[in-house]
Amino acid sequence: MRLLGAALVAAAVALYGCARSQQAQVPGGQARPPVAVAVQKVQRATVEKELVVGGQVAGIRKAVVGPKVSGRVADVAVALGQYVAAGAVLFELDRTEVESQLRQARANLTRAEENKKLADINRENARKKLERYKELFAAGAVSQDAYEQVLAEYERAMVKTAEADLEGARAQLEVLEAQLANMTVRAPFGGLVSKVNVNVGEVVSPSSQCVELVDIGRVKVAVSVGEEEVNRLRVGQECRVVVAAAGPGPFTGKITAIGPAADDKSKAFNVEVTVDNPEGLLKPGMYAEVHLVVGRAENALAVPVDAVVSKGNKKAVFVVEGDTARERAVVTGISDGKLVEVKEGLAGDEQVVVVGQQGLTDGAKVVVSGGAAPGGRPAGAGPAGGTGAAAGRQAGAKQ
C-alpha cells in the first residue's frame, strides 16, 4: 500500500508539473488545463481505531525468597539466570545443631511413651485394688483409714501426668522436624533466578532477601487508559503488543484485568495485559507498546485518510465523474490511521481523489494518472476539444 501510494504521488506530481508548465503557454482567456490527480475506488473494509499506550514488561509472578529460620548457609544450589522447577532446592542452612536436638527429642519421646505405658499399668492396678478394698471395707474387714489410703493412691494414679509429658515430647519433636525441614529453602514456583544475594558461610535470618525468582512463561504489561476509552475495553479482549527489544513482530496479548476505579492522581484506569512468552523473548523491564482496539466498524465504506479534505468544521472528498471532480460532503467515523470510515455522503461505487485533492474545486477538470481514467478514456486524453489537446501534449511531454 505504501509503495502504491508513493508511485501515485510521484506520477501525480509529474503530471501536475507538466500541467503547470503547459499552463504558462496557454494565452489568457482560455480554459485552465486539467489537474493531474490519482484516484482510488471506495472500498468496504473493517476499520479499527487503536489506542496505543506504553508500559513495562513484568513477570507474571515474582518472589524474593529467604529462610524461615536463622542459620549459617551451608550450600547454595542455584546461579543467576538458572531455571528451577517448583520445589527445587535454592540453598541449605547448616543443620548440625538441629539434628542433635532432634536426636534428643526422639529419645525424650521414647522415654515418655514408656512412662505412659507404666502409668497405664499403675492406673489399672490402682483401680483393681480400690475395687477390692471397697468390698473389704463394706464387709468390715479393713479400717476406714486403710480404705481411704487406697482411694488416695487411686486418685494419684488417675492424674494424667504421663500423658501430658508424652504430648509435650511429641510437640517438641514436631517443632524440631519442621525446623530441620526449614533448613532447606525451596522454590515456591518454577521460574528463573533473577538475583542471588547469599553465599556459603553467611548467617541469614527470616528477614534476609536471599534469592529472587521470576516466572516469565507468561508476562504482563500494566498500562493506563483514560475515562473515554476504559468502557470500550473488556476482559479477555485480544490486543497487539510490540516490544522493539524483542523483535519487530508483534506479540498477541489479552486483557486480564481492568481497574474498577481511576487513580487518584492521574485519573487514569489501570489495565493489565498478559502475553504468553514460551521462548522467553520478553524480559522484565523491557518497554512495550500495547495496541488496544477501542472502536471497530465492520463492512464499512472507507477511503484513505488523505482523501478527506477539511473545510472549517466540515469534511469533504472529491469524486471523479468522467473528467470532472465533484465535491462531496461526508460524515466520517473512526480511523485506523490509513483508512477512515465514511458514514454519510458516499454510495460506495465512487472513485475518490487521493492525490491532488488539496486546492481542488468542485467542477474542476482533472486527468487521472496511471491506468484508465473514469469514463473509459485513457489517462492523459483529457476532455474533448482544446483542453483535450493540451492534455495530450502533457502526456507527450511526460514521455
For residue 6, the model assigns a pLDDT of: 46
pLDDT tier for residue 254 given thresholds of 50, 70 and 90: very high
Strands (E), 145-284: 184-186, 191-196, 203-204, 211-225, 238-242, 251-258, 269-276
Higher pLDDT, 148 or 182: 182
Mean pLDDT on 21-34:
56
Q: Which domain holds residue 130?
A: 95-182
Same domain, 281 and 340: no
Q: What is the tally of structural domains in the chain?
A: 4
Residue 278 has pLDDT above 50, yes or no: yes
Same domain, 77 and 202: yes
Same domain, 119 and 162: yes
Cα 13 from chain centre: 46
CATH number at residue 218: 2.40.30.170
Domain endpoint, select from 243, 271, 294: 294
Same domain, 73 and 202: yes
Domain endpoint, select from 174, 209, 244: 209
CATH number at residue 104: 1.10.287
Pairing of strands 339-344, 191-196: unpaired
Q: What is the pLDDT of residues 202-243, one digit of tens each?
A: 999 999 999 999 999 999 999 999 999 999 999 999 999 999
Q: What is the pLDDT of residues 67-84, one digit of tens each?
A: 999 999 999 999 999 999
| CA–CA–CA angle 320, 396, 7 (5° rounding) | 55
Question: What's the half-sphere exposure (Cβ side, CA atoms, 13 Å) at 289?
Answer: 13
Residue count (the chain): 399
pTM surpassing 0.85? no
**Could you tell me what percent of the chain has a pLDDT over 70?**
84
Q: What is the mean pLDDT of the chain?
A: 84
Same domain, 85 and 197: yes
Q: What is the pLDDT of residues 95-152, one digit of tens each?
A: 999 999 999 999 998 998 888 888 888 888 888 888 888 888 788 888 888 888 888 8
